Chains A and B, each alone.
Chain A
């Protein structure tokens, strides 16, 4: 029995150290990698606690899906926008430390003085082994008493997917619709006629209200590409620089 405790202590210590690394690392990528270490160690602890299915789910969902998503977002966010934000708030850090220590004291007091222990449930290790293992037992519990929560979870995941699509959409849909509605005419100058002195002829400046479409009306904008009158490059067109 003592070996179990020893393994638990090692795994727990690594998980806690990695969690501290998440908070202390200066680079967000290092934080994400420390988080992977912490999650894998916690998954191993789930195996000790006879929750094999959840250990697999933890690795697949957390380290396989969420952490990859986090790393993709770190990659997509402009590196100039990722400065390190450690310093400059000594008061808040001190307050956070005091709050954390206070909470740790309270929780440890609650844990160490815990006396109420409920009646043991029906799923003893023998009962779990009798139905074929942790996954089968969990399935029996899940699909007998928790059918409605499962369906609600399915709806929640669908809503989250739709929400993510809405959030990830470019944030100027109206202007993009305008681009599709605008007739673009390419002004091709004969070579050498107007570029003779090396100066490209300037395009007419846009008035501020010119981009607003009246109902049923089409604007004619003189521009070489969509980028010439929009701040952001239009999807599907190469950005000309």
Chain B
């Protein structure tokens, strides 16, 4: 509790990432799974920016910026897939979606 160190934000990043991972594994609603993936992206961003802060470098921030851009693209395509799914199969339950398996 004396000074802000790398351990603080790495712990925060690990906690956020694992909560997101648990959400992906436990939940069955595709929309909530999507939100948990965004949470994991965010956890990785915290890591990158924390390391950039520690190392006096801006490469980590650059990387985080690209991650945000890619997450936006992923969000657009993912939500489009969810829309198509709910229109085609009338469900957003991940367990009901097994067309590829059959």
Contact = CB atoms under 8 A, between A and B. Distances in A.
A99 B39 CA distance: 18
Interface residues of B, number: 75
Interface range on chain A (Cβ under 8 Å from partner): 35 or more
Interface stretch (A40-48, A181-189, A203-211, A218-226): A40-48
A214 B43 CA distance: 56
A157 B73 contact: yes
Q: Which of A51, A112, A128 has the most CB of B within 10 A?
A: A51
Interface in A112-143: 112, 114, 117-125, 127-128, 134, 137-138, 141-142
B37 to A, nearest CB: 11
Nearest to B23: A23
Contacts of A74: 31
Contact of B68 (A58, A127, A168): A58
Given A45-B12, A70-B75, A103-B21, 14 more contacts: A12-B12, A16-B15, A16-B19, A28-B32, A31-B31, A78-B90, A89-B28, A93-B26, A100-B18, A103-B18, A121-B58, A122-B56, A134-B61, A161-B76
Interface of A: 1-2, 4-5, 8-9, 12, 15-16, 19-20, 22-23, 28, 31-32, 35, 38-39, 42, 45-46, 48-51, 53-54, 57-58, 61-62, 65-66, 69-70, 73-74, 76-78, 81-86, 89, 92-93, 95-97, 99-100, 103-104, 107-108, 111-112, 114, 117-125, 127-128, 134, 137-138, 141-142, 146, 149, 153, 156-157, 159-161, 163-164, 166-168, 171
